Amino acid sequence: MKQREILLQRIEGFYIEVASVFNEVEGKIMHDSKFTRMFRKKDYAGNIAKIEECKGLALHIDVKDIVAEDEKSKDVIVRFERALAMFNALCDAYINLQDFLKKKTRGEKAPMSQYKELMSKVRQSKMVTHIAMQDLSVVYTEYAEKN
């Protein structure tokens, strides 16, 4: 199999096996993390496990072994690596938020200022991840169309 095909398969695998699952979990987490709902018991441990699973799958996507055949391939690899790094940082931000909310429901000390800080980190990570994913999507589309 050509290096180009391997790269395309790994990007597609990321979108199908990781990003789509993450999007479902993220929707549930954001719904459950709203201020009016954060004091209710939720399956925070389950959410953390799902996010960790997504992160683990993303961490196992290796692009270091792909040999870039041209400049366009190098560019796609760099953007894919960036998107993976941003995605992993977003997973960490969500894990920290879910851990905080889990502590809050158990009655442990969890100041509102910390909640606001964690939500800010989630929003910031989400924004940069979205940009990196859009960037990857554009170069992936162009790269995949090229015969």
Q: What are the tens digits of pLDDT across the range 1-12?
A: 699 999 999 999
Task: Please state the pTM of the whole predicted model.
Answer: 0.89
CA separation for the pair 147, 84 (Å, rounded) = 25
pLDDT of residue 82: 97
Residue type, 147: N
Rounded Cα gap, residues 63 and 7, in angstroms: 7
What pLDDT does residue 38 have? 55
pLDDT tens digits, 48-66? 999 999 999 999 999 989 9
Q: Cα Rg for the chain, rounded, in angstroms? A: 18
What's at 10, amino acid-wise? R
The parts of the chain modelled with pLDDT lower than 50 are none
Per-residue pLDDT, 122: 94
**Residue-level pLDDT at 81:** 96
**pLDDT in the model for residue 138:** 95
